[in-house]
Amino acid sequence: MGLKLYGAPASTCSARVKAALEELGVAYEFVPINFATGEHKQPPHISRNPFGQVPALQDGDLTLFESRAITRYIARKYKNGVTDLLKQSDAAAGALVDVWMEVESHQYNPAVSPIFYQIFIVPLFGGTPDQAVIAENVEKLSKILDVYEDRLSKSKYLAGDFISLADLHHLPYTFYLMITHPSLVNSRPHVKAWWEDISSRPACKKVTDEMAAVAN
Ligand code: GSH
């Protein structure tokens, strides 16, 4: 039985997992979960992800939720001679991958996700985006991206001169940020070069093309 990724086509968390699978060339079946009918809150999906969210990954008897834990599982299981997205063979380089995965999770994500939520999700429920929330988080994100600019002036990718999960974890929200606030990225030359590099990788392009197909 092959890998099954249960997700929603435009969801950032599902796209994060897809990016790792595509980068490593792992075959999988994408099983769409219908938010409109509340499929994510009901059996059988609730047994795959007890929080009633996507994504969930099924690999034989193993069922996982939490996108960043799933990507780590994929990186460990499918690392090959060419690509080791966690740098498991090098403790220091691997620790830097961990650092920048933590930064994505605890700095970048909390600032970028409310912007995404206000602009893309609130209108789906008939609401009006709260401009104060957007402005507050744009300011927060701007300061965070100054740290990225400094880091990326010293290394090509976040953890060093190699692509890692730390970079790939940024793909989904940065894709949406480039639609809503491209100047946050484009005004920082090293962040811009980094984004152009990762977003043009064939694996990443495949994932963002699929997100764009739903968003349009
Ligand atoms: N930390 C979780 C992860 O990274 O997997 C977050 C999961 C999450 O927020 N999923 C969203 C979802 O299912 C889609 S990106 N939203 C629907 C809901 O919460 O009801």
pLDDT at 215: 64
Between the CA of 11 and the centroid of ligand 1 the distance, in Å, is 8
Cβ(67) to ligand 1 under 6 A? yes
One digit per residue, pLDDT tens: the chain, 216 residues? 699 999 998 899 999 999 999 999 999 999 999 999 999 999 999 999 999 999 999 999 999 999 999 999 999 999 988 899 999 999 999 999 999 999 999 999 999 999 999 999 999 999 999 999 999 999 999 999 999 999 999 999 999 999 999 999 999 999 999 999 999 999 999 999 999 999 999 999 999 999 998 865
Cβ(11) to ligand 1 under 6 A? yes
Q: What is the 3-state secondary structure (H, E, C) of the chain?
A: CCEEEEECCCCHHHHHHHHHHHHCCCCEEEEECCCCCCHHHCCCHHHHCCCCCCCEEEECCEEEECHHHHHHHHHHHHCCCCCCCCCCCCHHHHHHHHHHHHHHHHHHHHHHHHHHHHHHHHHHHCCCCCHHHHHHHHHHHHHHHHHHHHHHCCCCCCCCCCCCHHHHCCHHHHHHHHHHCHHHHHCCHHHHHHHHHHHCCHHHHHHHHHHHHHHC
For the chain, domain boundaries: 3-78, 91-207
pLDDT at 80: 87
Cβ(71) to ligand 1 under 6 A? no
pLDDT at 174: 98
Cβ(40) to ligand 1 under 6 A? yes
Task: Report yes or no for ipTM above 0.90.
Answer: yes
Quote the pTM value. 0.97
Q: Say yes or no: do domains 3-78 and 91-207 share a fold.
A: no
Domain 91-207, architecture per CATH: Up-down Bundle (1.20)
Superfamily of chain region 3-78: Glutaredoxin (3.40.30.10)
